[in-house]
Amino acid sequence: MKGIKKVFFIGINGIGMSGLAKIANSMGLEVEGSDIAKKNITKELESLGIKVYIGQKKENIKKVDMVIYSSAIKEDNPEYIAAKAKNIKMIKRGEFLAKLFNEKIGVAIAGTHGKTTTTSLMSSISMSKSPTIMVGGILPEINSNAKVGNSDIFIAEADESDNSFLYLKPKYSIITNIEEDHLENHGSFENIENSFKNFINQTEEEVILCIDCKNAKNLSKYSDKIKTYSIIDKEANIYAENINQIDNFTTFDLFIENKYIDNFKIKIPGIHNVSNAIGTIYLAIKFGVEIEEIKQKLATFNNAKRRFDVLYSNGITIVDDYAHHPTEIKATLRAAKERKTDKIIAVFQPHRYSRLKFLLDKFIGVFDLADEVIILPIYSAGEKNIYGVDEKILVEKINHSKINIIKGEEDILNKIKENKIKTTYLFMGAGDISQIAHNLSEKISNNYGV
């Protein structure tokens, strides 16, 4: 970027911001940033020579050429105010990503659910092509959420939550599904649909679209750039059939334009992950990746952290998963059901009052595959409860025969201690429930009464 030598990230510990900071650092830019508290990612950033200020103060903004800020940063943030006062160039996270991405052969993965897994799959099976990678989770293969490659291929997770994906101009894109979410930003489903239409228009070569989602299927004839994929509809350009669960693998036959390609097996559980895989296989073949290499990568693929992340397994299994939207929760429960276990206990932390308000009716029947449901207090993410919702209203809407509200970690540990049968505990949510799952796994590993 011309004239840009030093950049500052407000909110640098966020998963998207930290990834961009790493890429900027790898490009030779001088990088600094700030956040309100230390996280695990802070140490990694500092080990790369990136200065991280803990606490956001106007004094942190010194001589920099550009300030990048996340959507969580408001105009009353002291660093935001200081940068404005100094007439420093300021851009949003999505804009900065686009500045890097749009110069490359960009592959953008969008959708309400499955973006991180699909981006991780695309990155992993294309690794021999040395892509630049930007993913919304920690990909074990690179032990990071970002990597600068040597080729012109740039694979990035595209965020529709605040329409920042519309800064991107991909060569290729994958759309996994389209549903109601982040209505506090979008206002209506019609607005979400229009955003995805704009995203399709901005894709130069091909849009690989999943038609197993009704809302996405409605757009399948929208543009002649669209290639469809499916795990149920053989009319799709790309489809899978003969899907079988064998031990801890899911196997399937892949067809492209009615031509049999090969039989593949994927290590991560859940039929929805076959769907996530097949569009990426199509693109990887297009990029010249050998089929045998794709097969080997899929068979050994470990998903990004917090995507059916098994933290402990010895009679009791502790799974950490990012699922927070009703559709994601349902898919995670279905994946758990495919594994051999006597009992499934879903531990769910609702995320944001606004999300719960807008999606409340969609929680009906979502937990039916769980033998028992535990609801934790709502993680507010800084929101005030002006929406008139609470955990009790959610419990009534879920209407499960065995459901309880539990305050926190110790109550769950006591429940685990009483457990006498093979049980999978699914910890789901986008708040701090992951830390609870990790803490409990550590306690169980150290035989704290279990």
Q: Is residue 87 packed enough to be buried (19+ CB in 10 Å), middle (13-18) or exposed (0-12)? A: exposed
Marked catalytic residue, from 157, 179, 206, 328: 157
Say whether 392 is catalytic.
no
Sheet harboring 172-175: ordered strands across?
144-147, 132-139, 153-157, 105-110, 172-175, 206-210, 226-230, 238-246, 249-256, 259-266
**SS3 at position 266:** strand
Distance CA 396, CA 285 (A): 48
Say whether 423 is catalytic.
no
Distance CA 360, CA 240 (A): 33
Distance CA 59, CA 118 (A): 40
Furthest-apart CA atoms within the chain: distance in Å: 64
Instruction: Return the structure tokens found at 279.
Output: 């569009």
The residue among 367, 330, 346, 323 whose CA lies nearest residue 424 is 346
Residues tagged in the binding site annotation for ATP = 111-117
Residues tagged in the binding site annotation = 111-117
Q: How crowded is residue 443: how many other Cβ atoms within 10 Å of its Cβ?
A: 18
In sequence order, the β-bridge partners of residue 256 are 238, 259
Q: Do β-strands 372-375 and 403-405 pair in parallel, antiparallel, or remain unpaired?
A: parallel
Distance CA 394, CA 378 (A): 10
Instruction: Return the structure tokens found at 183.
Output: 């209505």
**Terminal Cα-to-Cα distance of the chain (whole angstroms):** 56
Q: Is residue 187 packed enough to be buried (19+ CB in 10 Å), middle (13-18) or exposed (0-12)? A: exposed
Distances from the Cα of 426 to the Cα of 100, 219, 249, angstroms: 37, 34, 20
Residues in the chain, overall count: 450
Marked catalytic residue, from 22, 104, 116, 280: 116
The residue among 224, 189, 221 whose CA lies nearest residue 203 is 224
Whether the Cβ atoms of residue 318 and residue 427 lie closer than 8 Å to each other: yes
DSSP 247: T
Helix ranges, 27-165 (H): 40-47, 78-85, 93-101, 115-125
Say whether 235 is catalytic.
no
Instruction: Return the structure tokens found at 376.
Output: 């934790």
Q: Which residues are catalytic?
A: 115-116, 157
